[in-house]
């Protein structure tokens, strides 16, 4: 990770869970991390914790609604002005709504596409532009995917969500191919966790907190820090090594 010290990483959805753990880990490694979310209160608190801990990097909170392209473009413009640009883009933000395919609301489907698919694609495009205009040839784009992007869960509440994560799997491979065609050494990686104990299930099953709690009580789940460790592992791989898809799940998880 030595070569990343002082360089700029963008982490989307950095206020809680995996995003917060990744932001902390990268700051600890000496990176300048722009952490974005719709509400930055928790990111500001995390930034203060990182500073108090004496980490060599810095965490810069940025308020951004990723379902709004104009806000994303404004964020990248601000990063260019204040920090020159993005060297590492961690597309972590994602959400799920209980909207089955046969009875779900279009609004919920659209929101999942906006955040899980379009925001990821827009951030990737803008990060690549930032790297290209500064002749950065060793940047990295990391998409936090899901095992739901590799098999369809037998639960109607998850089907549309899985479809958006299958899109992330395809997008990551498409990005890798386009980067090769562009003769760049910028890398693209997809990290696909199984069940991770975060606030995700409680947000997903917001009307049934007992159901959410049961998800995490059924086994020893992955922790957000496990995913953060995977991110630093991917970033620390030698420049000639392309880690395309890293799948990880609890030992006790069946599928």
> Residue 166 CB: number of other CB atoms within 10 A?
18
Strand ranges inside 132-233, DSSP E: 140-144, 187-193
| Residue 46 and residue 27 in contact, taking contact as beta carbons nearer than 8 Å | no
- Residue pair 222/196 in contact (Cβ under 8 Å)? The answer is yes
Which two structure tokens, joined as six digits, stand for 176?
């890798």
Q: Are 107 and 160 in contact (CB under 8 A)?
A: no
CA distance 83 to 85: 6
User: What number of CA atoms fall less than 13 Å from residue 214's CA on the CB side?
Assistant: 5
What phi and psi values does residue 8 have, to the nearest 5 degrees? -105, 130
CB atoms within 10 A of CB 156: 14
Rounded Cα–Cα distance for residues 118 and 95 (Å): 13
Q: Can you spell out the DSSP letters for 179-199?
A: HHHTT---EEEEEEES-B-SS
According to DSSP, the residues that pair with 189 across neighbouring strands are 142
Secondary structure percentages of the chain, helix, strand, coil, to 5: 50, 15, 35
Residues belonging to the active site: 161
């Amino acid at each position: 990770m030595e070569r990343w010290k002082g360089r700029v990483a963008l982490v989307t959805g950095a206020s809680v869970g995996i995003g917060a753990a990744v932001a902390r880990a990268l700051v600890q490694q000496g990176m300048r991390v722009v952490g974005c979310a719709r509400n930055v209160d928790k990111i500001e608190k995390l930034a203060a914790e990182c500073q108090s801990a004496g980490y060599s990097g810095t965490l810069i909170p940025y308020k951004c609604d990723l379902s709004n392209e104009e806000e994303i473009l404004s964020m990248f413009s601000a990063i260019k002005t204040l920090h020159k640009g993005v060297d590492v883009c961690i597309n972590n933000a994602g959400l799920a709504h209980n909207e089955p395919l046969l009875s779900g609301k279009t609004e919920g489907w659209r929101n999942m596409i906006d955040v899980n698919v379009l925001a990821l694609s827009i951030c990737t495009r803008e990060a690549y532009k930032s790297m290209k205009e500064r002749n950065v040839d060793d940047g990295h784009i990391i998409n936090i995917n899901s095992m739901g992007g590799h098999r369809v869960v037998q639960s109607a509440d998850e089907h549309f969500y899985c479809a958006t994560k299958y899109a992330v799997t395809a997008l990551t491979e498409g990005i890798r191919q386009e980067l090769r065609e562009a003769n760049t050494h910028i890398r693209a990686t997809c990290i696909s966790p199984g069940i991770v104990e975060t606030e995700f299930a409680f947000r997903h099953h917001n009307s049934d907190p007992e159901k959410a709690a049961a998800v995490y009580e059924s086994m020893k789940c992955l922790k957000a820090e496990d995913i953060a460790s995977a991110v630093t592992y991917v970033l620390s791989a030698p420049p000639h090594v392309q880690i395309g898809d890293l799948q990880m799940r609890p030992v006790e998880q069946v599928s």
